[in-house]
Amino acid sequence: MREIIFDTETTGFDPFKGDRIVEIGCVEMVNQILTGEIFHVYINPERDMPQSAFEVHGLSADFLKDKPKFSEIVDDFVNFVGDDSKLVAHNASFDMKFVNAELGFLSRKPYEKLRVVDTLEIARRKHPMGPNSLDALCNRYSIDNSKREKHGALLDAELLADVYIELLGGKQRGLDFKQEDGPERIDTFKKKIAKKRPNVLSPRLNEQEKAAHKAFIDSLGQDTLWHQVWKKEKAGI
């Protein structure tokens, strides 16, 4: 199974009020293992950069003015995503709103909701008391996010990939005796019932060893647990 973990940076919150994507970062995962393949691009939004957005990601209009427009990178992006790969994002409704809007502006087919995995929804189910921001989940799972001074699409996608693996059960979940297979859990090991010995084993301690053990118990005092156990054994209790 191929999945694309991705993130976007934008000029604001609403693509239908003039906001645009300014950065896309994607990492490829196959069978929940990172392959090292990435897609990363800065995009000229063809508009100014609001100060509030600049403070989030640090991408200025001057920096972006010579970068390609979305129409110039759309084929590369669509080809990297592929025809049936899952799209994984944190608060995916935000990112997909922008991606599908950009595709729509170019009369391209939008991505269906069934192809989208929202890690925020997974985190809220798994950790209902929160917090479930990307930074909070990195801290919860001891993922190093010290380089995340500002939001960056590729760095955030890479961090999210590590978080996603942990949300699915962690890197060692393949060693579990039980594993997920659809809605039900399937036991891969069945409990075995131990058979009784046909003959009781003869004692391995000789009389000298038993006497030494009793002397040791007596040296601990009459009120010790060991002494109480020894008295019950002697009485056959």
**90 part of the active site:** no
Given the residues 57, 90, 151, 227, the one annotated as active site: 151
SS3 for the chain, per residue? Answer: CEEEEEEEEECCCCHHHCCCEEEEEEEEEECCEEEEEEEEEECCCCCCCCHHHHHHHCCCHHHHCCCCCHHHHHHHHHHHHCCCCEEEECCHHHHHHHHHHHHHHCCCCCCCHHHEEEHHHHHHHHCCCCCCCHHHHHHHCCCCCCCCCCCCHHHHHHHHHHHHHHHCCCCCHHHCCEEEECCEEEECCCCCCCCCCCCCCCCCCCHHHHHHHHHHHHHCCCCCHHHHHHHHHHHCC
**Amino acid code (one letter) for 109:** K
Q: Which positions are annotated as active-site residues?
A: 151
